[in-house]
Structure 1
Amino acid sequence: MKHREPKAATSAVAFKAVSDRKAVPDRKMNASRRTPYLQGQIDGLCGLYAIVNAFQLMFPGTFTDEDAWELMVNLCDAISPKFPAVIWKGAGVEDMVALFKAASQYALEAKHLKGTIEVTRPFANRRIDRVQDFWGELGAWLEDGVRRGEKRLALIGIGYPDNHWTIVTHIGARSVTFFDSWELKRLALRQFTVSNDVAKSNGGMHKLDTRQSFLIARKAAPSLRR
């Protein structure tokens, strides 16, 4: 996301509100939520929200609003040196690596979730020239998870004009489905390109940063593995 740069003092107050557990009273214990947590309209925290929303889908029935709050606090702590600037600049790739490390640790320690996550980056060092190849490979990986009975999601980075991290839940023949902090639900596959020039010269096109993709799979908790 692109944002106007606010005063640091204002952002510092915002970070304190996120870090201080007492800042949000009366947290509900809701483990049946089926809608994504939404970020503010003028912040760049989509990366953090994407991870929290991924947990909601990965651990249905056990991941509560209380857990979402605790996970968000852990994520903020993981990249605390980047505050307050991350609030309006957003999280970069290396920030996301640190955030996923913290999220994985949270899943290990939260025994009631009854599972952990495995995060991989198979596209990180690969050049993909055709967006169809990316969607095809990612879609096959997601479908393989369905066949195996394994929950799988992908967190992807959309570049120009959005600059946004989001969660992909399904890739069909013509469209991709999201679980998103901007309430983005579905876009046609033909609306994406791997070319920044094409995205800038064609209205309605989105630049896909394929190397900024994190594949997330739910795994059994260590004590439950055989």
Structure 2
Amino acid sequence: MDAALTQAGQRVSLAAADAMAPLAQGKLDGLCGLYAIINALRLTAWPHKVLTYTDSKALFSFGTKFLHRRRQLKHVIRDGMPASLWRELADAVAAEAEPRAGIALAVLPYDAEPNSTDTTQLFDFIHSMLMAQRPVLIELGNCYRHYTVIAGISAARLELFDSWGYAHIHRNACGYGPVARQRHALAHAMAIYSAYPTPLPSFR
């Protein structure tokens, strides 16, 4: 049903994305993964709690210290972050954000079929999460080599809440997985969700 609705042209987006602007990344660092996580947490907490600049700065400090303890901070700033470390960072920063947001927060990874390169199931997952007002974190390979947040989906494109200011990418320019040859190779999707205001919907 979700896929049919999306293909029919129904646009689904996060109300929170209209209520705030994404935090902007520094031009000389590779910390887009950390910015994406914090931006997604800000979207998830709204409207129950507006995470302030002070809150976001504290989460950023926590995230950089986490990377430093892993002896990865210099490498990440220079070259970017591997996906396995990004997932660990998302779990850690979400846990750190809970007392500030006043709600339980968790990370739900997208469970792809093994060796799948089809985007249909991924777009179903994104649509399902956005219908429940859950932002979706994702890696954009090939053209951008970038981590970002998906805040909307339509039949034609994915709408981004992005630290570099990217607004959207076209669905027909997307493939799934590291071997995808399309302009955008999507990978390592995960949603951030909370117990407020509605339970997480079932998927599959």
Q: Residue 164 of structure 1 aligns with which residue?
A: 146
Pick the aligned partner of 2:63 from 58, 72, 75: 75
Q: What is the aligned counterpart of 1:217 among 193, 198, 202? A: 193
> 1:63/1:42 Cα in 2 relative to 1: closer, same or farther (>3 Å)?
same
1:76-129 C-alpha deviation (Å, 9 max, x unpaired)? 11111102111021111221122122212212332xx22121211132663323
- Count residues with an aligned counterpart: 175
Number of the residue aligned with 2:52: 64
Query: How far off is 1:191 after superposition?
Result: 1.4
Unaligned runs of 5+ in 1: 1-31, 146-150, 200-204, 222-226
Answering whether residue 110 of structure 2 is matched by residue 122 of structure 1, we say yes
Distance 2:172 2:51 in 1: 34
Q: Is the 8 A contact 2:23 2:39 kept in 1?
A: yes
Contact map agreement 1:154 1:169 (CA 8 A) in 2 = yes
Tell me which amino acid in the other structure corresponds to 2:146: H
- Is the CA contact (8 Å cut-off) linking 2:137 and 2:149 kept in structure 1? yes
Shift, 1:197, TM fit: 5.9
**RCO comparison, higher one (Cα < 8 Å, 6+):** 2
2:4 corresponds to which residue?
Answer: none
Q: Deviations over 1:21-77 (max 9, x none)?
A: xxxxxxxxxxx9711111122321100000111122122352000000000011111
Aligned to 2:77: 87
The equivalent residue for 2:181 is: 198
**Does residue 179 of structure 1 match 2:161?**
yes
Runs of 4+ in structure 1 off by over 6 angstroms are none
The answer on whether the counterparts of 1:115 and 1:219 sit within 8 Å (CA) in structure 2 is: yes
What amino acid is aligned across from residue 44 of structure 1 in structure 2?
G
What SS does structure 2 have at the residue aligned with 1:50? helix
Whether the 8 Å contact between 1:124 and 1:213 is mirrored in structure 2 is: no
Aligned partners of 2:52, 2:129: CA distance in 1, in Å? Answer: 28
Q: Is the 8 A contact 1:78 1:98 kept in 2?
A: no
Q: Structure 1 CA distance, aligned partners of 2:60 and 2:186? A: 26
Contact 1:39–1:182 (CA under 8 A) maintained in structure 2: yes
Instruction: Give the direction of change, closer, same or farther, for the CA distance of 1:124–1:92 in structure 2 (3 Å limit).
Output: farther
TM-score by length of 2: 0.77
Higher CA-based Rg:
1
Provide the rounded CA distance (Å) in 2 between the counterparts of 1:51 and 1:192. Answer: 22
Q: Does 1:207 align with 2:189?
A: no
Change (3 A) 1:99 1:125: farther
The C-alpha deviation readout for 1:5-32, integer Å capped at 9, x for no partner, is: xxxxxxxxxxxxxxxxxxxxxxxxxxx9
Distance 1:153 1:126 in 2: 24
Distance in 1 (alpha carbons) for counterparts of 2:66 and 2:112 = 22
Is 1:47 the equivalent of 2:47? Answer: no
> Percent identity, aligned pairs only?
24
